[in-house]
Structure 1
Amino acid sequence: MNKPIQRVAIAAIVLVVALLANATYLQVFKADSLRSDTRNSRVLLDEYSRERGVIVAADGTVIAESVATDNKFKYLRKYPTNPKAFAPVTGYFSFVYRADRGIEAAEDSVLNGNDDRLFTQRFMDMFSGRDPRGGNVVTTIDPRLQRTAYQELSGADCDGPCRGAVVAIEPGTGKILAMASTPSYNPNAIATQDFGEAEKAWTSMTDESADSPLVNRATSALYPPGSTFKVVSTATALHAGLNADTRLTAASRWQLPDSNTFLSNDSGSTCPGSSNGTVTLTQAFEYSCNTAFAQLLTEKVPGDKPEEFTSTAKSFGVGEDPAGIPMPVAKSSVGDIGDDLAALGQSAIGQRDVRLTVLENAVIAATVANGGARMRPYLVDKLQTADLRTISTTAPTTLNRPLTADQADVLTDMMIKSEQNTAGSQSGIASKTGTAEHSDTAQGGETPYAWYIAFSPGTNKRIAVAVMLENGAQGQNSYGGVVAAPIGRAVMNAYTGGGR
Structure 2
Amino acid sequence: MNAPIRRLSFVVALLFLSLLVSTTLIQFVYAKELNARPDNRRTLLSTYARERGQILVGDTAVAKSVPTDDQYEWLRTYPLGAKYAHITGYYSFYGAGGGLESAQNSLLSGSSDKLAFRRVSDLFTGRKTRGASLELTINPAVQEAAIKALDGRKGAAVALNPSTGEILAMVSNPSYDPNALSGHDLKKVDAAYKQLTSDAADKPLVNRTIGGDLYPPGSTFKIVTAAAALSTGRWSPESELPGPAVLDLPLTTKGLPNIGRRPCGPNDTTTFQNAFEISCNSAFGYLGMEMGADAFREQAAKFAVGDQLYVPMRVTPSKVPAELNKPQLAQSAVGQYDVRVTPLQVAMLSAGVANRGTVMKPYLVKSVLTSDLSILERTDPEELSQAVTPEVAAQLTTMMQGVVENGSGKPARIDGVSVAGKTGTADTNNVDRAHAWFTGFAPANDPQIAVAVVVENGGYADSEERGGGAVGGPIAKAMLEAGLKK
Question: Is 1:86 matched with 2:73?
Answer: no
Q: Is the 8 A contact 1:228 1:452 kept in 2?
A: yes
Match of 1:194 in 2: 185
Q: Is the 8 A contact 2:419 2:444 kept in 1?
A: no
Question: Is 1:175 matched with 2:162?
Answer: no
Separation in 1, partners of 2:185, 2:14: 49
Separation in 1, partners of 2:114, 2:14: 38
1:314-463 matches, cutoff 5 A: 314-320=301-307, 322-338=308-324, 340-420=325-405, 421=407, 422-426=409-413, 427-439=417-429, 445-463=431-449
Match of 1:39 in 2: 39
Match of 1:464 in 2: 450
Separation in 1, partners of 2:360, 2:155: 24
Consecutive unaligned residues in structure 2, runs of 5 or more: 1-10
Change in CA separation of 1:131 and 1:284 when aligned onto 2, cut-off 3 Å: same
Partner amino acid, structure 2, of 1:237: A
Match of 1:285 in 2: 276
* 1:152 equivalent among 136, 149, 153: 149
Partner amino acid, structure 2, of 1:60: D
Q: Is the 8 A contact 1:369 1:457 kept in 2?
A: no
Deviation of the 1:29 alpha carbon: 3.8
Q: Report the secondary structure of 2:357's partner residue.
A: coil
Q: Report the secondary structure of 2:156's partner residue.
A: strand
1:246-257 matches, cutoff 5 A: 246-257=239-250
Separation in 2, partners of 1:55, 1:224: 33
Q: Normalization by structure 2: what TM-score? A: 0.92
Q: Is the 8 A contact 1:412 1:457 kept in 2?
A: no
1:178-327 matches, cutoff 5 A: 178-208=169-199, 211-221=202-212, 222-242=214-234, 243-272=236-265, 274=266, 276-299=267-290, 301=291, 305-320=292-307, 322-327=308-313
Separation in 2, partners of 1:475, 1:270: 17
Separation in 2, partners of 1:37, 1:263: 51
Consecutive unaligned residues in structure 1, runs of 5 or more: 1-10, 155-160
Match of 1:7 in 2: none
Deviation of the 1:211 alpha carbon: 0.7
Question: Is 1:124 matched with 2:121?
Answer: yes
Deviation of the 1:83 alpha carbon: 1.6
* 2:112 equivalent among 98, 110, 115: 115
User: Does 346-355 or 379-388 show the bigger shift?
Assistant: 379-388
Q: Normalization by structure 1: what TM-score? A: 0.89
Change in CA separation of 1:446 and 1:47 when aligned onto 2, cut-off 3 Å: farther
Residues 187-211 of structure 1, C-alpha deviations (whole Å, 9 max, x = no match)? 0011011112112211221223561
In percent, how many aligned pairs have the same letter?
40
Cα RMSD, aligned residues only: 2.4
Q: Report the secondary structure of 1:205's partner residue.
A: helix
Deviation of the 1:23 alpha carbon: 4.9
Match of 1:61 in 2: 60
Q: Is the 8 A contact 2:55 2:136 kept in 1?
A: yes
Partner amino acid, structure 2, of 1:360: Q
Q: Is the 8 A contact 1:249 1:278 kept in 2?
A: yes
Residues 115-156 of structure 1, C-alpha deviations (whole Å, 9 max, x = no match)? 0111111112221222221111111111222122111111xx
Partner amino acid, structure 1, of 2:478: A
Partner amino acid, structure 2, of 1:71: D
